[in-house]
Amino acid sequence: MHQDLMQSAQEGLEMIEQAKVRLSHYTEEKDDEILQHNNELARLQMRFDHARSDVIVWVRRGRLGQLRQERRGSPMDAADCTQCSPSS
């Protein structure tokens, strides 16, 4: 009887150790996934910030071109158009 209890306790301890190892591997995998998602979020945030910055520049350039046109009272010339271009 005592031997059976000792064996049962030993098996229980081994099961606990195996569960700890599985949990450790699972936690490691999930930590890696979270890190990958965080890296992707950071990359997307940088793209968003860059795009927003580009839009602000384009809007300002477009408004600057409009002000020049209003001051001159004539259509925008070629120099003004290149300044409004999003590729410049």
- Among candidates 21, 84, 24, which has minimal Cα distance to 57? 84
- How large is the C-alpha radius of gyration of the chain? 33
pLDDT tens for each residue of 7-42: 999 999 999 999 999 999 999 999 999 999 999 999
Name the domain count of the chain.
1
Residue with tokens 């910055």: 53
* Model confidence, pTM: 0.55
Question: Does pLDDT of 2 surpass 90?
Answer: no
Residue 84 maps to a domain: yes
Alpha-carbon gap, residue 30 to 46, rounded angstroms: 24
Average pLDDT, the chain: 84
Residue 52 maps to a domain: yes
Going by C-beta distance under 8 Å and a sequence separation of 6 or more, which residues neighbour residue 83? 61, 64, 65
Q: What is the pLDDT of residue 71?
A: 75
Confidence grade of residue 74 (pLDDT, cut at 50, 70, 90) = low
Alpha-carbon gap, residue 40 to 31, rounded angstroms: 14
Give the residue numbers spanning the domain of 73. Answer: 30-88
- Among candidates 83, 75, 76, 81, which has minimal Cα distance to 57? 83
Residue 15 maps to a domain: no
Residue with tokens 């301890």: 13
